[in-house]
Amino acid sequence: MTDSYVELKRRIAEKQNSIDRKQDEMKEQLKDIGVALKPVNLIKGAMGGAVNAAKKPSVISTAIGIGIPFLADRLLFRKRGFIFRTVGLFAVRKLVNKFTAKRGL
């Protein structure tokens, strides 16, 4: 084998290793995006944003009390049966009330 052939094989192997590393990085980034887009994490982000954005506690309490159950209904319980949906929304409302009472909102 000539030196050119050996050099070409080496460069091909380096490029393949580079491609493999980039694919692994992209897979990790997609996993992170998937975690960030889970309905529970979206609800947490909305709740945190509502708490940080509003100035008055009554506004925060109202926004959280209306917004979070609505998001939960649309994202988590949309395709569930009536009983499961009702119980789930009841639990979400209780958690939201507990959260706002705990924070003094």
Confidence band for 79, pLDDT divided at 50, 70 and 90: confident
Q: What is the pLDDT of residue 8?
A: 93
Give the C-alpha separation, 33 to 36, whole Å: 5
Kindly report the average pLDDT of the chain as a whole number: 79
Judged against a pLDDT cut of 90, whether residue 13 lies above it is answered with: yes
Pair of tokens at residue 102:
């705990």
Q: Is the pTM of this model over 0.85?
A: no
Judged against a pLDDT cut of 70, whether residue 49 lies above it is answered with: no
Q: What is the mean pLDDT of residues 59-64?
A: 69
- Tens digit of pLDDT for each residue in 18-45? 999 999 999 999 998 888 888 777 777 7
Judged against a pLDDT cut of 90, whether residue 80 lies above it is answered with: no
Q: What is the pLDDT of residue 72?
A: 76
Contacts of 104 (CB under 8 A, 6+ apart): 57
Pair of tokens at residue 98:
């507990």
Q: Which of 41, 52, 36 is nearest to 75 (CA)?
A: 41
Q: What is the pLDDT of residue 1?
A: 65
